[in-house]
Chain A
Amino acid sequence: MSVKLTIIEQMERIAREHGKILAPLKEDLVLADCGLDSLGFAVLVARLEDTLGIDPFSAAEDAFFPVTLGDFVKVYEHGRR
């Protein structure tokens, strides 16, 4: 499964588990508006480490977080290379 599909699947799953409704998951969707709260994102990052084997955010030297879903996917695609 592609990185992007894995991320989207996990987001949908966490939204279901947390009782949240997701906005349509388009490339330019601003993550802050996607429907997951900060706990939801924290869980997402931890789950992705479990399934993709990387945590690009904790590995990074300075704190950064992508703004859009497209950026978020790129961080993982980049980290996986």
Chain B
Amino acid sequence: MSMAGVEAPSLRNFVANADAPAFFWDRAASARFTDLQRGTSIDGGRLADLAGRSVLIATAGQLTTALALIELDGCARRLVILPPDTEADHLDALIAAAGVEAVVTDVETPRRPAFDIAARAVCTPSIAPVAERPPVRRRSEWVLMTSGTTGVPKLVMHDLAGLTAAVHARSPADGAAVWGTFYDIRRYGGLQMYLRAVCGGASLVLSSAGEPVADHLARLARHGVTHLSGTPSQWRRALMSPTIRAIAPRYVRLSGEIADQAILDGLRAAFPHAAIGHAYASTEAGVAFDVNDGLAGFPAAYIGSTRDGVDMNIVDGSLRIRSPRTASRYVGIEQALTDDDGFIDTGDMVELRGDRYHFVGRRGGIINIGGLKVHPEEVEAVINRHPQVRMSLVRQKPSPITGSIIVADVVLKSDQQAVPTRQIELKDDILRLCRKTLPRHKVPAAISFVPALNVGATGKLLRRRR
């Protein structure tokens, strides 16, 4: 599908170009979004009221956001996408910062005083025929929110061209596709999967908050998912479910966290015939690159050369990215997004091992053990290599002697938990692997076996901050 020569393509252009009906499915409902060519899901024909305005999309469900984005792109001046777990206390500040003039909700959106100041329209999963739709006449601004763990999220400005720049590059296993994602589409990672589906005229199986993993996998199987994406933590949880055998995706994608060799190998074993890729992306930097050779890290040659319009360099161990897919600016705050040369500092620390760079952790996540530094993620990557380990969390514990020490919470693959004597052997075995691979201070002082680890709404492992 070539967009050459088309002025300001909008999502509706892609929908109009779809060759066959395509659907969004969530847990409770579905919508044939290709019907939006001649219909609307915005209740009462209020769409014209939203034209040219800054519109907050504050739906309870993902299905209605999925529809509203198609309705509003090219119609509203600005689309502001509200992630599901935004704290109510932050709404006033976010609405003011984004200059919100209208709100799109669905029937389940919680009532918030912050929404009352603006014009309001309701989006439903049903698409009613409409005589005339407002014409697509502008390049809408897309405003996404960062998933920072503390304080008011930052608002980040994108446009459809930048958001879809990585979509048009052919991905492995192209062809008639059914997309699925463990992410929420109201954040950058999930939005990428949404845009891949809509721009390709393909159906998308949405995740639903609180849905058990097995139920979600069963739904993905029922809809015949071919392309499925999630964070490494979400994939680890999925691999613990026997229902994983019900799906057979052709393309498996990981992003949002470090993809270690253990999870890549685990997915290879589960899906021997699938193309498996891990991507690096962030809300600010956009999609920087995909790695499709089945190995953790990325080739050293990616640094210092322009690939696909993306330049990367490393300053003080942190990866910096300059690309046409990066956000253009922050909204509502005076803070530069890039340095003077146009690079975004990701804060993701990398280390050269042989001919590949490996991600070792976040700059802000370093634990100091008596003056020696350790990234929890690099220790987890080693623990996860143990054949009986499914996933792990390395955390800091105060120590009267060294200030901090690290301990590990470990989730074993199925059925390993039972026998206590076996547990002691296993702990020793995991620690032996750590000692063989890591310097002394990076070896956890203690290991606990836990039934599960907490994965947040962003799909990332929750790290408790002290």
Contact = CB atoms under 8 A, between A and B. Distances in A.
Interface in B270-324: none
* Chain A interface category by residue count: 10 to 19
Contacts of A43: 405, 445
Contacts, number: 47
B400 A58 contact: yes
* Chain B interface category by residue count: 10 to 19
B417 interface: no
A46 B435 contact: no
B448 A42 contact: no
A38 B445 CA distance: 13
Contact of A46 (B370, B441, B446): B446
Interface string B193-226: 0000000000000000000000000000000000
Main DSSP-derived SS at the B contact region:
mixed
Report which residue of B370, B398, B400, B440 has the largest number of chain A beta carbons within 10 angstroms of its beta carbon.
Answer: B400
A58 B446 contact: no
Contact of B440 (A18, A50, A57, A65): A18
A23 B155 CA distance: 60
A33 B224 CA distance: 66
Contacts of A49: 446
Nearest to A64: B400
A27 B370 CA distance: 27
Given A42-B369, A49-B446, A50-B446, A65 B400 contact: yes
10 contacts: A38-B402, A39-B402, A39-B441, A42-B401, A45-B401, A45-B405, A46-B445, A47-B445, A57-B401, A65-B400
Q: 6 smallest A-B Cβ distances: which pairs?
A: A46-B445, A57-B400, A42-B402, A43-B445, A42-B401, A42-B399
